[in-house]
Amino acid sequence: MGKTFAEKALGRAAGHEVKAGEIVTVEPDFCMSHDNSAPIARTFRKIGVKNVWKPERIVFILDHAVPAPSDDHAVNHKETRQFVAEQGITHFYDVSSKGGVCHQVMCEEGFALPGLIMIGSDSHTCTYGAFGAFSTGIGRSEMAAAWATGQIWFKVPESLKVTVKGSFRPGVAAKDLILTLIGDIKADGADYMSVEFHGPAIEAMSIAERMTLCNMGIEMGAKNAVCPPDAKVLAAIRDKARTDRWEALWADDDAVYAKELTYDLDNLVPCVAKPHTVDNYAAIDAVKGTPIHQAFLGSCTNARIEDLRAAAAILKGKEVAVRTIVIPASWKIYRQCMAEGLIETFLDAGCVIANPGCGPCMGNHEGILAPGEACISTANRNFKGRMGNKESFIYLASPLTVAASALKGEIADPREVL
């Protein structure tokens, strides 16, 4: 009987064969935390262990509120720097032009690697599955415990196999696939499961597109989400892998799945997730014309160079009808945007460009909504009040749909402006 990806990755880390349902204790390859590093450090001190188990396996990336917008945030950042110095943590991305949104930086900087066990004190840690890693989000106490012991327990998850074939029609993107899938199986459709993406359409996708898929695994309740570590992944990590502990692992053809689904991209249409849940699917035709007050192109879900190129192609030579906030996912992407003239395109179109970071995604700063306002966003969550005000409305969509909507001031079908 074959094994799933999760059984292989957790078995490799545990040092013995495992199957779904077993509980294993493993050593994480990398532990990521962001602006919550400071409160984790406080909990860590309560355990009574002096030093973290391996400082070189801990990565801190400040991104949730950068540069600090309040004294509370500033104090947290300061405590983080003190802990970095005290513990000799080498992988620290402070407020600087080397950073960006934590998940983007983890992937760009060669931490996200095939077969690794990666944990992060952020629910979207599942993004690194785009590189074939077993990666999952955990809470702060658990992260403090991992720093102290170098261990974490997992129940080996059952797996959901999603096979994808066909190819995207013009105006349709990876975001439409993942919003459609979540709409079909709902917010708890993959609870506790490992979601594997298979098929020729996944192989044809860029790593950026795969990151969009894996990033939103948590929005259907998944423990992790993963794509095959194929030649594209191996080429992407060739010169930047931070460790040689990685190994390209993939599920056997005869692995056993709890559930299997198939999607044909040829049948997919642009869509949105309506307020206030990610599984509140609507095809574009059903929401076209809904007035919006703000558009947001950003976040760990959809602000890579490929996403911004696609949006810029729609905005080029035109002007937005509502305030539009563009936040590249990292400073590397920001520079690439400059080199390709995208920054100029966005500025000419009337967009505001903010510094890389999470921005308004979870309502910290740089684009809070007022009561009664609606925002169309490339981010991953549209929970009530997520962007700061509980009387506001968030529609999630692809960069193409967000750009098309920004031009019209209402939700628009990107196929009509391509």
Q: How far is the CB of 108 from other proteins (least distance, A)?
A: 22
Instruction: Report the residue number, 104 or 345, with the smaller CB distance to other proteins.
Output: 104
Going by C-alpha positions, the residue among 182, 186, 162, 129 that lies closest to residue 259 is 162
d(CA 158, CA 154): 12
- Dig out the tokens for 89 from the structure: 């943590």
Question: CA–CA separation, 85 vs 334, rounded Å?
Answer: 29
152 vs 404, beta carbon nearer other proteins: 152
CB atoms within 10 A of CB 370: 11
3-state secondary structure at position 54: coil
| Pick 167 or 389: Cβ nearer other proteins | 389
d(CA 278, CA 292): 18
Q: Compare residues 166 and 385 and give the one whose CB is closer to other proteins.
A: 385
Q: Quick check: helix, strand or coil at residue 411?
A: coil
Q: Which residues bind other proteins (CB under 8 A)?
A: 23, 38-39, 42-43, 46-49, 70, 72-73, 76, 121-123, 137-142, 144-145, 148-149, 153, 186-188, 191-192, 218, 221, 223, 277, 279, 362-364, 381, 383-386, 388, 390
Alpha carbon distance 123, 106 (integer Å): 14
Nearer to other proteins, 67 or 200 (CB): 67
Q: How many CB atoms lie within 10 A of CB 357?
A: 30
Shortest CB 79 distance to other proteins, Å: 10
**Shortest Å, Cβ 311 to other proteins:** 25
Shortest reach from residue 386's CB to other proteins, in Å: 6
In the complex, what is the shortest distance from the CB of residue 156 to other proteins, in angstroms, rounded to a whole number? 13
- Give the nearer residue to other proteins in terms of CB position, either 127 or 364: 364
Minimum CB distance to other proteins, residue 237 (Å) = 26
Hunting for tokens 């194929």 — which residue is that? 230
Q: Name residues whose C-beta falls within 8 Å of residue 58's C-beta, 6 or more positions apart in sequence.
A: 30, 31, 33, 52, 87, 89, 91, 147
What minimum distance in Å lies between the beta carbon of 326 and other proteins? 22
Amino acid at 324: T
Q: Identify any residues that bridge with 325 across adjacent strands, giving them in sequence order.
A: 296, 352
Beta-carbon contacts of 178 under 8 Å, excluding residues fewer than 6 positions away, are: 212, 213, 216, 219
| Least separation in angstroms between CB 125 and other proteins | 8
Q: Which is nearer to other proteins, 86 or 188 (CB)?
A: 188
Nearer to other proteins by C-beta: 275 or 409? 275
Crossing angle (nearest 10°) for helices 174-185 and 207-215: 20
